[in-house]
Structure formats: C-alpha cells, structure tokens
Amino acid sequence: MPLEILLIMVVSGVSLVILILHLSGRSAQTVLSPEDARSAWHRHFPDDDVRQILVAENTHAALVQTDTGTGLLWSFGADTVARHLIDFDVMETPKGLRLDFHDFGTPGVSLTLAPPERARWQQLMTSP
C-alpha cells in the first residue's frame, strides 16, 4: 500500500475516533462536588486526612485542606490532577489565578475563578 494512502487512512481514523469521543461527551471536563473532590484527592494521596474542601463556583477546581497543608485539585479533561501547594508562584489573571509550580512534572495551571472567590483562594493558598 502506498505511504500516502496509509497516512490518509491513519489520520482519518484518528480524527474519527476523536470526533466520536467529543460528540459522545467524553471530552468534557470533570465536574467536582465536595464528595467527588474528596474521593479524587484520596485517589491521588490515599494517606492524607482531608479536613475541608472548597470547590470553585465553576466546579472544575477545589482547594483541599489536609493534615499536611493545603492542596489543589483541578479537572484535566475527564480526569483530575492533584498537587500539594508547596513551592509555587501565584498570579492574578483576568479570568482567575495562574499557579506556576516549581516542578518539572506540573509546570502550571490556570484556574477560572469568579472575582469574589479569587482573593479568598489566594489567601488560603498562601497561608501556612
């Protein structure tokens, strides 16, 4: 089979799978409730004792207070990512906050937060 035809078939097949997944709703971001955030946090850090959870108004991120400190959980497509808030920079953006982690594995995340919750989140993130 000529390489050009094989390339067209592969690109078409991958595009079709992506389209089907998107149209079936499997590309939507995870929506977090406090219970979902707790179970997602325990999936990432099973030994942590979760004391308090603050879910963002858009339900795509949550601040998690644990016995070891504050952590951040956020939607990454249909899954979640969780990080303890250690060694990071936080900046305000027009839509919320930007966190730059000093970690090669998680360079940064942009959080969409309503104006009233930005200051509260920033305070909770930076308090010891």
pLDDT in tens, 99-113: 999 988 888 999 999
Residue 116 per-residue DSSP state:
H
User: Is the separation of the CB atoms in 28 and 66 below 8 Å?
Assistant: no
> Would the pLDDT of 26 be above 80?
no
CA-wise closest residue to 59 among 40, 45, 83: 40
Backbone angles phi, psi at 42, to 5 degrees: -65, -25
- The CA-atom distances, in angstroms, between 84 and each of 12, 24, 39 are 41, 33, 16
CA 45 to chain centre: 15
Its pTM stands at: 0.80
Residue bearing tokens 């027009």 = 94
pLDDT band at 128 (very low <50, low <70, confident <90, very high): low
| Length of the chain in terms of residues written | 128
Residue bearing tokens 């979760």 = 50
% of the chain at pLDDT higher than 70: 99
